[in-house]
Amino acid sequence: MLNWKRTIQATLTLIIIGWATPVLSSPIHLLINFLGNVQVKKTQWKDFIQAESGITLSGEDQVMLGNNASVTVYCSDRNQWKVEQPGTYLVSQGCPEGEGVIRLCPKCNNPTIRVPGLREEKLKELPYLISPRYTKVFNDSLTIRWNEVPGATNYKVKVEGLEGEWEGETKENQIVYDGELELGYSHNVTVSADSGVAFTDEYINYDYGSFRVLKDEEAKVLREKVADIKQQGLSQEQEGLILAYFYRGNRLNFEAIQVLKGLVKSGSETATVYQLLGDTYQRVGLNLMAKEVDQQGLALSVEKEMSEVKVMMQLGLGVVEYVLGNRDEAAELLGKARVNYLVLGKRLNKEDEELINAVLGRD
């Protein structure tokens, strides 16, 4: 019998998307508020289930309201659709399907690492880059942060750009980058500790140590759209979720993480906030952070029998446990995710199905 890791590595490939121009998906709409009995049925589900704040919807999905219920959907064109009458509605009745600002970009900024990486204990000993990591950034003041290494007293940081290198040294686990940010180009970061370990000991994908600076014109357009969202009188959590999806769709992973971390720090009890933050951490290869956030989110949804957000966190945490080398934990979570997806009537994509089969030892 083949070793389980070799079997999975043969099945699952490392897809390097790089910094190519993304092909954006269809516009998405966000359910940002509801009162009373509101249920949702996505096209791939068998039945209606209880609504959840922050979930994404397509125009073909349906919302069903009971008596004295209401729902507000934030449309991709930045308008809001509010329904207060009982009945069943297609989302397209209130949200147009044309060009939209809020979009999913599921594969354009994620190398989709699904092969085992460093074990959890080993990873904690490395100065792995935390931010800015595999992201686009605005041309602003930039602080580079990394994992604090036990026993290390000094760190050396190098940033390589098109025109040259910048080096810094510090006793802290962060440093202000005061070198030139080259617009439109990628910069690669390496961090080494005086204990003899380096960030390069961690990553399988070199792009995890990179960030790209937006060009002025692109940055101007994005800032204007962000300002428009912030002027709409939304609650802190509604605004944060909308901005997080917006940033992710434009490959601004660092900005998305900052917004979502702020919501978690403020005490958010919305599971979608934790699921989205965990998924963003996973996208950029910060699996230890993804694990912590997904565990927090699952604790919030423990009493829910059926929830798309809960199933997504089970799947995400299962993948993270697998990447960290925790096979038993991964098998348990991925098994639960598969069962719950079947209850929803939703099919897993081919890559996730192959991963679950491999971890569970099935053909």
Instruction: Give the separation between CA 254 and CA 211, rounded to whole angstroms.
Output: 9
Instruction: Give the separation between CA 15 and CA 111, rounded to whole angstroms.
Output: 5
Half-sphere exposure of 308 (CA within 13 A, CB side): 25
pLDDT band at 206 (very low <50, low <70, confident <90, very high): low
pLDDT digits (tens, 9 = 90+) for 218-252: 999 999 999 999 999 999 999 999 999 999 989 99
pLDDT greater at residue 332 or residue 100: 332
With 80 as the cut, is the pLDDT of residue 338 above it?
yes
CA 89 to chain centroid: 29
pLDDT digits (tens, 9 = 90+) for 137-171: 998 889 999 999 999 999 999 999 988 899 999 99
Domain boundaries, the chain: 4-16+217-359, 29-93, 120-216
Instruction: Give the separation between CA 65 and CA 87, rounded to whole angstroms.
Output: 5
Q: Of the spans 154-163, 192-201, 254-263, 316-325, which averages the highest pLDDT?
A: 254-263
pLDDT at res. 346? 74
Long-range contacts of 221-228 (CB under 8 A, 24+ apart): 222/250, 222/252, 223/138, 225/78, 225/101, 228/78
- Whether domain 4-16+217-359 has CATH 3.40.50.2300: the reply is no
pLDDT at res. 118? 73
**pTM of the predicted structure, to 2 decimals:** 0.88
Same fold: 4-16+217-359 with 120-216: no
With 90 as the cut, is the pLDDT of residue 99 above it?
no
The residues pairing with 82 across neighbouring beta strands, listed in sequence order, are 72
With 80 as the cut, is the pLDDT of residue 105 above it?
no
Top-level CATH class of 120-216? mainly beta
With 70 as the cut, is the pLDDT of residue 111 above it?
no
pLDDT at res. 5? 39
With 60 as the cut, is the pLDDT of residue 7 above it?
no
Q: What are phi and psi of 285, to 5 degrees?
A: 85, 15
pLDDT at res. 23? 46
pLDDT digits (tens, 9 = 90+) for 176-204: 999 989 999 999 999 999 999 998 877 65
Mean pLDDT over each residue of the chain, to the nearest integer: 86
